[in-house]
Amino acid sequence: MSNITPYQYSDHPNEEGMESQDEHDAYRMAVENTLYDDNRTAIGQVKSVRRVPVSRSTGQASKLTEMYDIEFLRQEINIEDHKIPLHDLFNRLLTDPNTGLAEQQVRAIEQRDGANIISSPMEAPTWVRFCKNIFGGFSFLLWLGALLCFAHYSIESGIHREVPSDNLVLGFALIVVVLITGTFSFVQENKETEMKAAFDRMLPEKATVIRDGVECEVDAKNLVLGDIVIINAGDQIAADIRIFDTKNFKVDNSTLNGESEPQWRSAEYTHENAL
């Protein structure tokens, strides 16, 4: 007599496996101390603008990078922190207008978002940028033309006793033109780099905030999302902020848009686009 293993038939063969997986996930969430941060609030709004570095070594990583880039652009477009009610904004940022953030919150947010500094792409060394201006783009064709002129002059010198120096002069002329235009382009590019560096140096180094109910001065790079910032007359603004309490407040935007006169600012938003 053969042994027959009894089993229960089900229309959903993976139902038992799904239930065990759900139980495993529930147990894991109950015992783990850390939770995955998807950069969104409980209602699905983006908490902060940030990028997640992803390796581009594989095709799958490239797709993930593209997805993160699209998400980054959406975060820049879908900004509504400037127009939602203040109590909703405070609840979203988990802060209080009177006491500000707690030190534990500040450390957690700083670990999540990083320092409040302008991220700039890695710049190539000076000699690399100079070589790109001398040998890159259309300059390469001029170098090739000069080389052909010298080659033609050398071939004619080997065949004929007397050779006109037209090709030799043309080759040196092309080299001189390449050196002059490449040097001019490099100087212009260098000036633009210095202007960007000078603009970065205009950013303030300190900011006045309220944390744990105490007004204190911190480094501007240590500002985090949700800080209550106090702006006094003559202060430079160290981050993107929303105004919720002000008296006779004017800002100087001459370095941004060239406006010569200070502009009034209030707690009411004037445009749908925050930018």
HEC string of 96-125 equals CCCCCECHHHHHHHHHHHCCCCCCCCCCCC
Summary mean pLDDT of the chain: 75
Q: Check whether 275 has a pLDDT greater than 90.
A: no
pLDDT at residue 239, rounded to an integer: 83
Maximal C-alpha separation, the chain: 112
Contact 143, 178 (CB under 8 A): yes
pLDDT at residue 75, rounded to an integer: 54
Average of per-residue pLDDT across 6-19: 42
Give the long-range contacts of residues 256-259, CB within 8 A, separation 24 or more: none
pLDDT at residue 269, rounded to an integer: 74
More confident residue, 118 or 185: 185
More confident residue, 228 or 165: 228
pTM of structure: 0.50
pLDDT at residue 15, rounded to an integer: 43
Rounded to whole angstroms, the Cα distance separating 92 from 254 reads 32
pLDDT at residue 62, rounded to an integer: 60
